[in-house]
Amino acid sequence: MKDRYPVSTLLIFFSLFVLLLGCNRQDSSYIITSLGPDHYFDIAIGDKLIRLQLAIEAEELSHGLMYRKNMSENQGMIFLYTKPQKMSFWMRNTSLPLDVGFISSDGVLQEFYPLYPYDETTVVSQSDELQYALELNQGWFQKNNVTRGAKLDLEMLKKAIQLRGYELSKFNLP
């Protein structure tokens, strides 16, 4: 009689089971040693914890969240620039309604604005002293009571930058 499941199929299921178990580890002995551009990291803004992707390279900065079909409630992307500047964002090829928060180099949320799907109208910051932009689902700031003056955890950001393999000095971080 022929085996119902070949040994190779059973090995694949077992390997996936072990992998899933490993993904659920919560002990502190599990340490991330690198972070790719598609990976998320945890960071706090105000008293809220969010999961972000880090946009650093020119292609990542220009592509942003384009072509995404969905995004979890507390996920988003942070855009890092090497020096403070005026910010401008638009929604080319972006189907998700978003909020963009503009953050100064000391990690303080200065401004935030709603962005609408596929709207190519440029949203320009008032300040020219901004170094980070944070995109989250539209309404996130209001829903989570994160207002102007909320502080981004720069220590967590520094760790994420280093895990991406970049020198902190490139970003003029305090």
Q: What is the pLDDT of residues 12-45, one digit of tens each?
A: 444 444 344 444 433 333 345 556 667 999 999 9
Judge whether 7 lies within some domain. Answer: no
Please compute the mean of the pLDDT values over residues 148-155 and round it to a whole number: 98
Assign residue 109 the CATH number of its domain: 2.60.120.1140
Judge whether 14 lies within some domain. Answer: no
Total domain count, the chain: 1
Average pLDDT, the chain: 86
Return the structure tokens found at 49. 């914890």
Closest CA to 81 of 62, 109, 108: 62
Judge whether 91 lies within some domain. Answer: yes
Judge whether 118 lies within some domain. Answer: yes
Nearest-10 Cα torsion for 92, 122, 157, 129: 160
Confidence of residue 173 (pLDDT cuts 50, 70, 90): confident
pTM, to two decimals? 0.79
Judge whether 13 lies within some domain. Answer: no
Range of the domain at 162: 36-171
